[in-house]
Amino acid sequence: MPAKGPRIAKPVSRWLTVVGIGEDGVAGLGDEAKQRIAEAAVVFGGKRHLGLVSGLAKGEVRAWPSPFDAAMRDVLALAGKNVCVLASGDPFFHGVGVTLARKVKPDEMMVLPAPSSLSLAASRLGWALQDVETISLHGHSIDLIRPLLHAGARILALTSDGDAPAAIAGLLEELGFGPSRLTVLEVLGGPDEAHRTACADAFDLENINPLNVLALEIESTPDARILPLTVGLADHLFEHDGQITKREIRAITLSALAPRRGELLWDIGAGSGSIGIEWMLAHPSMRAIAVEADSERAARIHRNAAHCGVPGLVVIEGKAPKALAKLETPDAIFIGGGGSDAGVLEKAIKALRAGGRLVANAVTLEMEALLLGEHNKRGGDLTRIALSRASPVGSMQAWRPAMPVMQWSWVKP
């Protein structure tokens, strides 16, 4: 009996074409892109994009609905027909291609990208794109730029509108980066392309086109608020009332929590929110939920998250364990304040996914007893952290010990 050969998948018709288009319109498109647009039964796009190809599209043209439908129902309803979607520049750089790829298999669509606006900006400025920090502030809080603000950094930012450059300049001046140079690149690739430059502390550019990319060359003053790249941010960078995991303990705690790309943390009894904030600073994909019973502290966590450049931190105001109900399954859990309630630890252990990490810190004898019992029952690692700081004693210095912390870290089987 002859051996069976490899199974060959049947070809799938590429019913969907995604065409990246620049501000130069049809003139900047290749022959294949022009043909795909002309032959499409339906062409989707923003009103501006559809206007750029008005003389080329022969089929029905449909502008995106407002508000935008991220489920792409109108496009998916035409599956199997000849459909074309227009996108700005590179459809897979913060573009509609990313949204479509969640709904349509790669072998069902053809993507014909154009240069992204950031590629165009880098080419105009002569910047090596691999050495530049890039960020999308389109539809997002400008606080997201805060972690990128280091002297000597070059940043390319996608903005939301013509008002954003001035708002970003104001933020830079407020944070001690007033000498930074900001270049606004408007309508890149189009006939009305323009470049204008001003320092953040003297920003006076007006009538900025909503289609702009902002290039930043960061310079700092001695008092600039710089967020270091390591864990264990200085305590003064957080607003707090004393309820904060101190810098050195925080660094050890985050090491034990071992953040991994795309994971979700529960920070129970969050206090100032410092653990969840530093967890999210580890990578843009990180997520955290801070659970805090005190309303003033919960409001403070919101402010700290914004001031540290992670405004997406979710704050749940409520008392654990009741406040933990219906929260998304976490990859890691930290228990700080309020953990002496056995019900909190029990609920946290139950909620944690298999392979997830739990770290709990104790400063009271009651909490130590609880963690010791869990260690005896479940295993894991126990660590005692004792720190001393130098402080004046008369005209001399002496060591003053801080309260020791017992830390239990455990991986759920």
Summarised one tens digit per residue, pLDDT across range 18-58 is: 999 999 999 999 999 999 999 999 999 999 999 999 989 99
pLDDT in tens, 203-252: 999 999 999 999 999 999 999 999 999 999 999 999 999 889 999 999 99
pLDDT in tens, 316-366: 999 999 999 999 999 999 998 655 677 999 999 999 999 999 999 999 999
* Fold of the 118-217 domain: 3.30.950
Residue ranges per structural domain of the chain: 16-114, 118-217, 235-411
Are the beta carbons of 33 and 52 closer than 8 angstroms?
A: no
For residue 10, pLDDT beyond 50: no
Residue with tokens 């009651």: 366
User: Count of residues for the chain?
Assistant: 413
Closest CA to 36 of 65, 64, 59: 59
DSSP 44-108: EE-HHHHHHTTTT--SEEEEPPSS--TT-HHHHTTTTS-EEEEEES-TTSSSHHHHHHTTS-GGG
pLDDT band at 196 (very low <50, low <70, confident <90, very high): very high
Beta pairing partners, 359: 334, 409
Output the CATH code of domain 235-411.
Answer: 3.40.50.150
Output the CATH code of domain 16-114.
Answer: 3.40.1010.10
pLDDT band at 267 (very low <50, low <70, confident <90, very high): very high
The whole-number pLDDT of residue 9 equals 46
pTM: 0.91
Question: Poorest-confidence range of 10-14, 130-134, 392-396?
Answer: 10-14
Sheet holding 264-268, edge to edge: 314-317, 287-292, 264-268, 332-335, 357-362, 405-411, 381-385
pLDDT in tens, 298-320: 999 999 999 999 999 999 999 99
